[in-house]
Structure 1
Amino acid sequence: MASETESGTRRQGPATLRGRAVPQTTTDQRLLDSRGPSDWLHADPWRVLRIQAEFVEGFGLLAELPKAVSVFGSARIRPGSPEYDLAVEIGARLHRAGYAVITGGGPGIMEAANKGCDEDGGLSVGLGIELPFEQKLNDHIDVGLEFRYFFVRKTMFVKYSQAFIVLPGGFGTLDELFEAVTLVQTGKITRFPIVLVGREFWQPLVDWINGTLLTRGLVSTDDPRLLHLTDTPEEAVQIVVDAHAKAEQAIIEARAQAETAAEESS
């Protein structure tokens, strides 16, 4: 509750306000008085609560997901195109490999990956975003959630995915791709394969990374190897499966070495 401790000074929760910063009404008054402008709905403190609510809702809904892979790509790809059919096959193969499929929940590549997983009997997840031109969540989603904030949505993709498979797309796809690459490069997330599907589309980007970024010393020698390039759904899914198997084996070996060292020191 807000309180005045000295003339012209008000304590308002953890904050101290003085002089012109002291509001003319208390927080309780503003909360209970339904009259007047609704500008407070758009103030930063209220946004913080909305952001918190989105995190809580996302964590609560997705916490019990099985291991999953996020599939990204353009919302503009139409059914019947080679890229769409490729995404359908990837979605189905991910389910057969034991993964749920997470997408941005929209049309195009997202719909295709959800469709492939859903029609094959898998768990299909869509994490939508509130945009003025975005369509509703597609019809092949078992678990769906729409976000106001891109950064909250990104957190959910990374937190609840064990890999990214990226098909041709525009700015949004590139944003998600480089977000993941940066997190892996900096060690914020580990055991996280990133697969680019479509050599004709992605090869110029990979060549630029190797030919410009690497030669100018703007990335490390191993950084371009974070990206795996393929043309087939079989290889795309197998790269993910093999990477996780290798990581699990490394964990088992590290535990065995630790146990051996502990026994020898005892």
Structure 2
Amino acid sequence: MASPPRHGKPRQGPSYRLALFDRDFLLSPAMRGVRLQIETEKAEEALRAWGVRSTIVVFGSSRLREDGPPHHAGWYAEARAFGRIASERGGALQLVAGLRDNVIATGGGPGLMEAACRGAHDAGAPAIGFNIRLPHEQQPNPYTTPELTFQFHYFAIRKLHLAMRARALVVFPGGFGTLDELFEILTLRQAGRMGRVPVVLVDEAYWRRLINWEVLVEEGMIAPGDMELLHFAAGAEAAWHLLDDAGVRLRA
């Protein structure tokens, strides 16, 4: 039998902690579903407070720099120009009935994501950064709007927020992460799980050198009509015209 507490003071174990402040409990496997919901709702509340109804998602390499090799610097300049053009012409600068459309959204990191956010910043428009917590910490770029700069633990929730408000996807040259996000959206479109969201790849030469898209059709891996999910643009202005033709513009 356990000895009674001294001086009548009750003993308190972890079970006595308020659940809200019990870190061990909240980080336990049993609470994973709750953590997923919390990550979803925190970003949702902030986006709702800013009236963000729709986004234009921009993907691209985090490794490129403005002062890099000429073709890298060119991609950076085009991504920055696109962020400005889309913000000025798409409606991100204007609240209509308390709602804001076509806000630039990226993964929040450096490189071409920074460039697109910088373009929105040049226009005086908000920019969203959906950052992810990584072993080697990813720092948010300085051009995302502070109230719309998020950090996620779960890739799934980050992907959810990147996709759920997207009215268009514009993809600049990138590596594994860019390809992952690109094929995620293409798969959703192909499977009919996403609306008619146009997908524009900037710099056709890069994308055709990287992927032989026609092989997928020739080998029967995708239907010929699936190629219509892809559009290619030479640069920022051409990318915006493709979106404008697809109806991605300021809503009345």
Give the TM-score category using the shorter length: 0.7 to 0.9
Q: Name the residue aligned to 2:77.
A: 85
Which among 151, 157, 171 is matched to residue 156 of structure 2?
151
User: Are the aligned partners of 1:105 and 1:144 in contact in 2 as well (CA < 8 Å)?
Assistant: yes
SS at match of 1:214: helix
- Structure 1 position 65 matched with structure 2 position 70: no
The aligned residue for residue 254 of structure 1 is none
TM-score, normalised to structure 1, is 0.75
The ranges of structure 1 where at least 4 consecutive aligned residues each deviate by more than 6 angstroms after the TM superposition are: none
Taking only aligned residues, the RMSD between alpha carbons, in angstroms, comes to 2.3
Per the alignment, in what secondary structure is the counterpart of residue 101 of structure 1? Answer: strand
Matches of 2:221 and 2:15, distance apart in 1: 52
Structure 2: where are the runs of 5+ without partners? 1-11, 68-72, 91-101
Q: Write the distance in 2 (CA, Å) between the matches of 1:187 and 1:122.
A: 32
Contact map agreement 1:62 1:160 (CA 8 A) in 2: no
Report whether the alignment pairs 1:94 with 2:98: no
Deviations 1:15-73 (A, max 9, x none): xxxxxxxxxxxxx9753259xxx765543222221111001112212232043201000
State the 1:82 CA deviation: 1.1
Structure 1 alignment gaps of length 5 or more: 1-27, 249-266
Paired with 2:236 and 2:183, the residues of 1 have a C-alpha distance of 22
Letter matched to residue 240 of structure 2: V
Aligned to 2:224, what secondary structure does the other structure show? coil
Tell me if structure 2 keeps the 8 A contact 1:72–1:173: yes
Query: Match for 1:170: what amino acid?
Result: G
Give % identity.
35
The amino acid that maps onto 1:32 is Y
Preserved contact between residue 202 and residue 235 of structure 2 (Cα < 8 Å)? yes
Structure 2: how far apart are the matches of 1:67 and 1:237? 16
Q: Report whether the alignment pairs 1:173 with 2:158.
A: no
2:222 is the alignment partner of 1:219:
yes
1:31 to 1:235, Cα distance in 2 relative to 1, 3 A: farther
Which whole-Å deviations, capped at 9, do the CAs of 1:157-179 have from their partners, x for residues lacking one? 11121111000111110010000
- SS, match of residue 97 in structure 1: helix
- The structure, 1 or 2, with the larger RCO (C-alpha pairs under 8 Å, 6+ apart) is 2
2:245 is matched with which residue: 211, 234, 242?
242
How far off its partner does 1:201 sit?
1.2
Partner of 2:122: 119
Largest Rg, 1 or 2: 1
Asked whether the 8 Å contact 2:81–2:236 carries over to 1, the reply is: yes
* Greater CA drift, 94-103 or 188-197: 94-103
For 1:245 and 1:153, the matched residues in 2 are separated by 23
- The one of 130, 136, 141 equivalent to 2:139 is 136
**Partners of 1:134 and 1:111 in 2: CA distance:** 16
In 2, the alpha carbon distance for the partners of 1:236 and 1:222 equals: 21
Post-superposition offset of 1:219: 0.6
Distance of aligned partners of 1:107 and 1:129 in 2 relative to their CA distance in 1, 3 Å threshold: same
User: Aligned residue for 1:209?
Assistant: 213
Stretch moving more, 106-115 or 230-239: 230-239
Secondary structure, aligned partner of 1:183: helix
Contact 2:167–2:248 (CA under 8 A) maintained in structure 1? no
Q: Flag the 1:56–1:33 CA change in 2: closer, same or farther, 3 A.
A: closer
TM-score, L = length of structure 2: 0.79
